[in-house]
């Protein structure tokens, strides 16, 4: 309880310090029932990312896994604290490779610290070759994505080869959405011949900034609210 309280205290202080003026919302378009239903499988995939690696690798994590019962897991990892859970596999019904990242659990103090580590930093030139050095991102999100980047890249390449896949879909919620967004820039730099799509739930501000430009988006990025 003490750790959780401390984390929320940090969030509260930072909210007061980092407050920015409100910006009017753009117009909102109501989705049809069919459009909402089309995202349901990816909602289950994002939810399953909160399950332990052993259960996502065996695809036995209860309702979240049952929502996409034909999924074929290939790799999983993370410890849920210093490294967010993740998994990679293939969805026959969606005809796509799935990459999923766990979001923040407030009781996990290290994940909370990742969220509030808000200094801006350059993207790793090894992971993101060719990206301008003037591009900066949220330091905590950048570090977290780097922890799993090469393992996920290898798993995605293996899955594409095994299933002759032509599509890759990256999903995540909260902190997981931020990592997914960075993956949507990272993976296409190392993999060609497939299309990329990213579905984010409750995406925080990853803060790509540059005086002259922003990174190109080789992936289709779809962001929803919580």
User: Which pLDDT score is estimated for 127?
Assistant: 94
Can you say whether residue 24 is alpha, beta or left, with left for phi > 0 and alpha for psi between -120 and 50 degrees? beta
16 confidence band (pLDDT: 50, 70, 90): very low
Can you say whether residue 116 is alpha, beta or left, with left for phi > 0 and alpha for psi between -120 and 50 degrees? alpha
- 139 or 113, which is more confident: 139
User: Which pLDDT score is estimated for 13?
Assistant: 37
Distance of alpha carbon 226 from alpha carbon 221, whole angstroms: 16
Distance of alpha carbon 113 from alpha carbon 139, whole angstroms: 11
Q: Could you tell me how many residues make up the chain?
A: 226
pLDDT, averaged across the chain: 81
Comparing CA positions, the residue from 77, 96, 60, 62 lying closest to residue 171 is 96
Statement: residue 6 has pLDDT above 80? no
Distance of alpha carbon 99 from alpha carbon 188, whole angstroms: 13
Each residue's pLDDT tens digit, 170-187:
999 999 999 999 999 999
- 82 or 209, which is more confident: 82
Statement: residue 114 has pLDDT above 50? no
Sign of CA dihedral 17, 20, 179, 84: positive
**Whole-prediction pTM value?**
0.79
């Amino acid at each position: 309880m003490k750790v959780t309280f401390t984390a929320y205290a940090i969030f509260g202080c930072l909210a007061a310090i980092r407050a920015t003026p409100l910006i009017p919302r753009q117009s909102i378009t109501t989705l049809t029932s069919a459009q909402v239903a089309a995202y349901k499988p990816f909602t289950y995939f994002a939810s399953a990312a909160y399950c332990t690696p052993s259960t996502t690798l065996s695809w036995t994590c209860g309702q979240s896994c049952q929502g996409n019962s034909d999924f074929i897991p290939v790799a999983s990892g993370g410890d849920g604290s210093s490294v967010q859970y993740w998994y990679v596999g293939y969805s026959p019904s969606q005809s796509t490779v799935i990459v999923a990242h766990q979001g923040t659990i407030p009781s996990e103090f290290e994940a909370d610290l990742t969220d509030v580590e808000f200094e801006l930093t350059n993207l790793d030139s090894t992971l993101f070759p060719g990206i301008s050095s003037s591009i900066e991102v949220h330091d905590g999100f950048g570090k977290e994505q780097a922890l799993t980047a090469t393992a996920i890249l290898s798993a995605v390449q293996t899955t594409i080869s095994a299933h002759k896949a032509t599509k890759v879909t990256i999903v995540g919620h909260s902190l997981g959405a931020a990592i997914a967004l960075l993956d949507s820039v990272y993976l296409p730099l190392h993999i060609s011949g497939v299309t990329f799509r990213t579905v984010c739930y409750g995406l925080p501000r990853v803060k790509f900034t540059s005086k002259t430009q922003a990174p190109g988006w080789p992936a289709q990025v779809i962001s929803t609210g919580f």
